[in-house]
A and B are shown apart, each in its own frame.
Chain A
Amino acid sequence: MTPGQPVVLPGETMASVTDHIADITLNPFGRWWGACFAFSVLLLGIGVLGVGWLFLHGIQTFGNNWPVMWGFPIINYVWWIGMASGGTLISALFFLTGSEWRTSINRIAEGMTVFAAACAGIYPIIHLGRPWFFYWLIPYPNTMGLWPQFRSPLGWDFIAVLAYVVSSVLFWLLGLIPDLAALRDRATGRRQQVFYGVLALGFRGTGPQWRRFHRSYGILAAVMAPLVVSVHSIVGLDFAGAATPGWYSTQYPPFFVCGAALSGFGLVIMLLLPLRRILRLQPYITSRHFDVLGRLLLLASLAVSYCYVMDAFDVFYSGEDAVRIQFIERISGEYGWVYQATLLLNCLLPITLWSRWMRSHAVPLFAIGLGVVVGMWFERFGIVVAVLHRTDLPSAWGGYAPSLTDYAIFAGTVGLFGAGFLLFVRLLPVVSIAEMRQLLATRG
């Protein structure tokens, strides 16, 4: 990457942007796509087997057991929903701030959000003992005369995640409508014309259509930005609401939001770097974008580091023996390596992004993105497993070993994300054509 590039390389026009991005979607892809898709479907298949086994034999097939009653399902749920949140911050928050660099990467970030949120959404349902009764989470008049518990963060979690998943999909689809119309009008084959024609819903770019589109899109963005903060805060409250040493802390909601942003920015960088090269998006995704994303990742990493410091400070300031013993065990005991790896990957590795050289080179950027994505998984593992295995009663101390079902379902969610994201890349425009045209018109 050449440092100092603008958000769009010179020489691009409305016509060239439309043609280039539409051509990517309308023309055949190389073998790389088929290979990646096959691998994702393989992982997804393993996950389907895992879920099938789980449904046949019940949740005893998870590694969860006393005292670690929350294992892989919640770790992976929080990890996926966190990465989803990072995508929404890019597409909604930076839309409101009017950041030009957001324009060409928001579609990929939103696609990532939708499929990461789908992976997260699976866990709360399958981890129920009787998943076929998942609708009991919904408040509705029933013959049993029962209601969900509205005063519990777990009840809030349901409505927050539901609102988030539905809103993310709607926000994504609304933004796609003008681009689907562009594809409909560029498509030459009958099947493509019908496919994109049906999806475009008859958008023709008339004055009232544009006016209402901008109004609706703007309001959705304005609602989505605080929504994403609230969703991850509520996920934090799932933990903070429990009277468990190590979790019972008021800093959990902001701590979780910062962590979500960190892993989300990491995953966006990991997806953008190869896509930019393979789909030849260099004119629209320039070194400027990676510079900004690198800085954002650094900022999120510093915020997360501050939370780790406060986490430790709280422990010793509180003066509670149970919390102190547990924390010392967390950083140096059986799972000490998890805590150390978390610090290394989430705090020390991103520090290198202070250097402009690191922000403008693909390989180190990808490595740091991967590092924080893995690091955030370790963080969740530490928060769930390392905390629960040393609770306040020494008689309840124990260990945790994930089962084969845990690993299979985890692999399945990775496969689901991969397959879903690859289908999106194949079938839908990966860069927002309409917003790129708007950007070019504004820049003159």
Chain B
Amino acid sequence: MSSDMTHSEAIDLLAWYVTDSLDREESAAVARHVESCETCRQEVRELKLVHQSVAEVGVEEPAYRPALVDEALARIDQLAGERKRQPRGPVVALTAAVRALGHAIGWDATPVFARVALVAQLALLIAIGSIAMRERPIGHEYVKTLSGQTAAPTGARLSVAFRDSATFAQVQTLLGELDSQIVAGPTALGLYTIAIGPRTNVDQVARQLQASGLATFVAPVAR
């Protein structure tokens, strides 16, 4: 503020001039103006009285109770006790554990760009892992002829095509229930050869395969 303060600038600051809360430069400029301005001098007198009136605590006003601090500390203790007693849910516990781990490995001190890079790498690894772990559809399974390696059922055989959505595990489970197993396939047309157990009815297996919703084509293999 310049040293030649105008009347309107000075009168706007008088309240804070009276309470001594202006900075040194402003206060000096106001003081210089007040010296030469009767209106401002009168205003200063009035404001000093307002200051005294507002600053003093009137007898009619309720008194401050110093015991308030004890009440506040008791409340703090109570809140701390409640927090201790509160059972920690699994999410809270997990969050705390992750935070503790992060602190232990110095995550807090790692720069933001490095954190982003690490998180991106972790996300990529998880994505690759989940793709690798996902159940594979039956179409991706190549079954070698088991003859000569294990004792394949010697009964009737079926030529079966499975839906693309059917997984290898689903097919294996179903065939196990039907006392059957894949002995060859898939062919270029996606057909598997299923060997039926000697004591199992081939027509019944064919019907159950069709009814399962996993097979799209079932036909007996001529022997």
Q: Is A bound to B?
A: no
